[in-house]
Amino acid sequence: MAKPAFIYAFDNLGAYRFIELCGELLGARYNGFMLGGEGADGGIDAEIDKVLGVWHPEHKDSLLTDIIQPGQTVVFQFKHKVSARIGQAQTRTHLLNLYKCNQKKICELHSDLVQEKRPTSYVLVTNVEVNSQFRNTFINQCKEEEPRIEHYQVIGLDELVAWVEMQPKLRHLYFPTIFGPPRFDLRINSSFGYLINSDGPDVDCLIVEVLNVGTVPSFLNPSAVAFSCNVDGKIDPVKFFYRKDTWIGQLNPDPTKGLEPGRKQTYFFPLADFSYLRERGESIFPIEIQVTDEIGNKYREKISDEIGDMITKAIYASD
């Protein structure tokens, strides 16, 4: 479970503010995501259950543990609950009841709002703590109720907490009584290039620039930069360790030197080094770059389609 979740007090946001926050998080994570609903203005002022998030990926992308193909439709539906009143276990039971048809009512999956979208994937987004038992029960129950939808996912409190922690500006906006303006704030840029190697041929590299856009210095160790990949349907973090006595290790930043505000550090990752990922699984899809500072703040940047293709080619280069 999300240990620091109580700090963020998602329950206190209220339903509409919760949806706004989710829209910011999902919009930043999934290019092409849109938030809307029924009503006179077709927007956030519509009834809470009439608000949907819709995502039409233009390129193959990873939705948690599922791979979504271009042209498919993903629907996100939001359920905000004040679990403090009845407890997390009872709240999860109430959620499951919304996804079971009976003689008195149809379930959420058969509502006109969802059916009109003809989604390939359906995602429940909730501020409730989601355990593995609930996740499995929810997915299996949904598949029985509406088998025409291929994928089901749940984004619960754990995921929301992790994503908020990666967005210092959102922490300040949505939880101002706890978090002030971000002092620690990093931005990640990535590009493709090559290094001239005096001892051999030039080396194709993924170049990751970390910029300090905060107001105080940040310290990053050599393994601060990690890569998140979808490996056979599971999210797998990947780190590279380059010793300082190697030529590539000498090029990467010195962890004893703080990254001052307004400055950047540049990390080099030879594309050939990604080939070892073949040992982890058969289907490997790069998702994002993550940077963690010395006090545990995490920052993320989605890997572009161009760079993702280059990494994938490097992984399977000798096949």
Per-residue pLDDT in tens (0 to 9) along the chain, 319 residues: 444 445 678 888 888 899 999 999 999 889 889 988 654 344 443 445 678 999 999 889 999 889 999 999 999 999 999 887 788 899 999 999 999 998 888 999 999 889 999 999 999 999 999 999 999 999 999 999 999 999 999 999 999 988 888 887 887 788 875 555 668 889 999 999 888 877 778 889 999 999 998 888 999 887 889 999 999 989 988 999 888 888 888 888 887 888 999 999 999 999 999 998 988 888 999 999 999 988 888 888 999 889 999 999 999 886 5
Placement of tokens 């006109």 in the chain: 112
CATH of domain 5-174: 3.40.1350
CATH of domain 186-315: 2.60.40
What is residue 5's predicted lDDT score, i.e. its pLDDT? 46
Structure pTM?
Answer: 0.80
Nearest to 21 by CA among 129, 135, 180, 175: 175
What is residue 170's predicted lDDT score, i.e. its pLDDT? 83
What is residue 230's predicted lDDT score, i.e. its pLDDT? 93
- Angle at alpha carbon of residue 26, lines to 193 and 134, rounded to 5°: 120
Residue ranges of domains in the chain = 5-174, 186-315
What is residue 177's predicted lDDT score, i.e. its pLDDT? 58
What is residue 165's predicted lDDT score, i.e. its pLDDT? 82
